[in-house]
Structure 1
Amino acid sequence: MRIVVLGATGNVGSRLTAQAARAGHQVVAFARRPDAVAAGEGIVVAAGAVEDTAALTAAAHDADVVVVSITGKTSDGTFMQDRLPGIIEATRQAGVRRLVLVSVFGAGDTAAKASGFARLIYKGLLRAFLKDKAASDQILQRSGLEWTIVYPVNLKASPAPAQKAAVTPLSEVRKVPGLPTLSMDGAATALLDVVSDPGTIGERLLITTPTGWKPVA
């Protein structure tokens, strides 16, 4: 599979890039700072900003899927809304049908499944950030592309646990208790599984710890 990764120098995108290459996929790491991408077999670095539709279109040519794993400052309430339409247009122009977007748990209607304490956080400092994420999620769903949106819980830089992360359709999740925290490596592994599975097209998926969710009764 040929995978284009936007955000290839970020916390999750860099780990996804490395893991996908090790798994035998061809990875195009699209980055504003190409020198910051860790080189490796199976990784092709393409220089460009996500706002540059022409550069992204060229980089995505012949790809099977575009993965968007970028984020702005938590104080920026328009970061994704400003950039995602151009990314969608470049994906179309490149002839790529599928786009996987990394959102965040707490955005939009996902907040209703969070704990009371988590909702207080979401309504405070993260309010503008999460509102932007929710709006961009809707933009993708209206795009006509074969989309998948993933919603990771809190992430930290720590070794991946022995157990794989839980990847569950939001429609099957009743509650995400407390503030579950997942390793970035674990999140990247789960994301690669999602990207590799065409059965996830049209799904909104929670990515959390194995015990960090409760099913719908």
Structure 2
Amino acid sequence: MKLVVLGANGHVGAHVVTEALLRGHQVVAYVRHPDAVQPRDGLTVVQGSVEDELAMTDAFTGADAVITAIGLRPGAKKPINLMQRALPVITAAAKKAAVGRFVLVSAFGVAETAAMGSPIAKLIFATLVGAIFRDKTLSEKIMPSTGLNWTTVYPVNLKEAPHGPKAVVKPLADVAKVPGIPTLTFATVAATLLDIAADQNMSGLRVLITTDKGWK
């Protein structure tokens, strides 16, 4: 599979690149700062902006899948509207390039998933990452109208650690609550994202990625 990763310098994106290369995929890392990407066999690094439709169309052409794992971290400077600016451009480029699959990495706590969280999780959603999650929520409304073979994923809390137990993937419609603060590793979620990108049955779905007991 030829895969393009946006956000390849971030926690999730970097692990997606590593896992994809281990699986023998051909990977394109589309990044602002190519010097920050470790050169490896099977990896092509392309410098560009997520607001440059032409550059992304060129980078996406011939790809079987695009995984978009961009985002802001807590404490980002205002205005916090990265996803509202970038996602329409990214999806337009993916459509022009006739990308086979498009996977958007969101976060648990965005859109209606916020109401599924525990009291402590809801407090975090409303304060620490409130503006970032509002930006994601507004941007994701365009996904059904993009014409892409898309899946939006909502991983629970993530940490840096070796692969853990396999993640559970559940359509949001099947989830009522997410108790506590379930936590997965970046590596585990990266592997799950690659499985989702290769699964045509996931088209048009919004799914939670969580632990075995991290949903009801």
Consecutive unaligned residues in structure 1, runs of 5 or more: none
2:113 is the counterpart of 1:113: no
TM-superposition CA deviations, 1:7-56 (whole Å, max 9, x none): 11110101101111111211111111112112222211111111121111
Query: In structure 2, what is the Cα distance between the partners aligned to 1:18 and 1:38?
Result: 10
Consecutive unaligned residues in structure 2, runs of 5 or more: none
The match for 2:65 is 65
Q: How do 1:23-102 residues align onto structure 2 when only pairs under 5 Å count?
A: 23-74=23-74, 75=76, 76=78, 77-102=80-105
The match for 1:14 is 14
The match for 2:189 is 187
Q: Percent identity?
A: 47
Query: In structure 1, what is the Cα distance between the partners aligned to 2:49 and 2:204?
Result: 27
The match for 2:209 is 207
Query: In structure 2, what is the Cα distance between the partners aligned to 1:104 and 1:136?
Result: 13
CA RMSD of aligned residues (A): 1.4
TM-score (norm 2): 0.93
- Segments of 4+ moved more than 6 angstroms: none
Query: In structure 2, what is the Cα distance between the partners aligned to 1:47 and 1:124?
Result: 34
Aligned residue pairs: how many? 213
Query: In structure 2, what is the Cα distance between the partners aligned to 1:95 and 1:212?
Result: 36
Which residue of the other structure, out of 109, 124, 127, is the alignment partner of 1:124? 127
Amino acid at match of 2:162: P
Contact 2:4 2:66 in 1 (8 A): yes
2:153 is the counterpart of 1:175: no
Deviation of residue 97 (structure 1)?
4.5
Amino acid at match of 1:49: S
Contact 2:19 2:191 in 1 (8 A): yes
Deviation of residue 84 (structure 1)?
0.6
Query: In structure 2, what is the Cα distance between the partners aligned to 1:156 and 1:115?
Result: 19
TM-score (norm 1): 0.93
Deviation of residue 189 (structure 1)?
1.1
Contact 2:63 2:100 in 1 (8 A): no
Query: In structure 2, what is the Cα distance between the partners aligned to 1:6 and 1:27?
Result: 11
**Partner SS for 2:9:** coil
Query: In structure 2, what is the Cα distance between the partners aligned to 1:138 and 1:97?
Result: 21
